[in-house]
Amino acid sequence: MDIQAYIQSGIIESYVLGLTSSDETAEVERRRKEYIEVENAIIEFSQSLEESAFEHAIAPPPELKSKVLSAIKDLQKERTLVTPTEPNERAQVVQLQGGSNWRLIAAASVILFVVSAGLNFYLYNKYSNKEEDYQALLLQREILQAKNDVYQTQLKEWQSAAAMIADTGMAMIKMVSPKGKDDVATVFWDRRNKDVFVMVNRLPEPKVGRQYQLWAMVDGKPVDAGVLDPSCTSVCKMKNIPKAEAFAITLEKEGGNKIPNLKALFVLGNT
């Protein structure tokens, strides 16, 4: 049995993503015990998925939890700050007698004015702080919503990749480094309409001004299959290729080249 052909058939990726039937799962479990190559391929693809997930994960801000708890605690304190007057409580009237009582009235008025001004200043500051906290929470919510939109987009892209792997009309070409490095990428080539997609499992982050480019080997000559969009984090749509004997990825200048730089060849795979 050609074990390499079995590995490159796409059964390993389908097994790791849970897309195999019960018979196929049993077959893979049996072959991973018999062939170390199958076991290594399962581990390698699982690790590439995990590394890709961690690489694009975005953790929520650590200060968000403390801000939310602090805002809730301050609101609870404010509820007990002012006790409403009972509706049936009667106002107390103090009868002042004597010619010097006006001094007491003036002193009481000054004290009342100072207390009232201090209370108003305190409440104004508390309101201003709460307004700032409220605006900060709104901003944090918008940030989290934007990050959630990114996660949803990535999830849809991975679901699309899983559907491609399960599609029997899709040829899967695994590309590995010819130099023995850990670089890995996968080409999905639709046998029906000849559309080409690339999933970058593990490639180094390109430097500024550089971009990965896909090539199709047609009759022994390289044909441009498109540059990889840096914003694409899972499955990238490339150019339509009617026929090819192999696919390769090189690192070129931003925007791509007409001729591949073979010194910057990263991965290669035969169809």
- HEC assignment per residue over 94-153: CCCCCCCHHHHHHHHHHHHHHHHHHHHHHHHHHHHHHHHHHHHHHHHHHHHHHHHHHHHH
Do both 185 and 162 map to the same domain? no
Do both 176 and 188 map to the same domain? yes
User: How many folded domains does the chain comprise?
Assistant: 3
Q: Residue 243: which residues within 8 A CB-CB, separation 6 or more?
A: 194, 218
Closest CA to 161 of 2, 271, 245, 48: 48
pLDDT digits (tens, 9 = 90+) for 235-257: 889 999 999 999 999 999 999 99
The answer to the question of residue 86 being in a domain is: no
pLDDT digits (tens, 9 = 90+) for 13-71: 888 877 788 888 999 999 999 999 989 988 888 887 767 655 554 555 555 456 555 65
- Residue 28's domain spans which residues? 1-55
pTM of the model: 0.48
For residues 127 and 121, what is the distance between their CA atoms, to the nearest angstrom? Answer: 10
Residue with tokens 């990428």: 185
Do both 205 and 190 map to the same domain? yes
Do both 188 and 127 map to the same domain? no
The kind and range of the H/E element at 160 are helix 101-166
pLDDT attached to residue 235? 84
Q: Residue 195: which residues within 8 A CB-CB, separation 6 or more?
A: 189, 237, 240
Do both 156 and 173 map to the same domain? no
DSSP letter at 157?
A: H
pLDDT digits (tens, 9 = 90+) for 87-110: 444 444 444 444 444 444 555 555
Do both 211 and 269 map to the same domain? yes
For residues 84 and 205, what is the distance between their CA atoms, to the nearest angstrom? Answer: 63
What proportion of the chain, given as a percentage, has pLDDT over 70?
A: 66
pLDDT attached to residue 126? 61
For residues 73 and 79, what is the distance between their CA atoms, to the nearest angstrom? Answer: 10
For residues 74 and 220, what is the distance between their CA atoms, to the nearest angstrom? Answer: 72
The answer to the question of residue 96 being in a domain is: no
Closest CA to 162 of 47, 20, 8, 38: 20
Do both 190 and 210 map to the same domain? yes
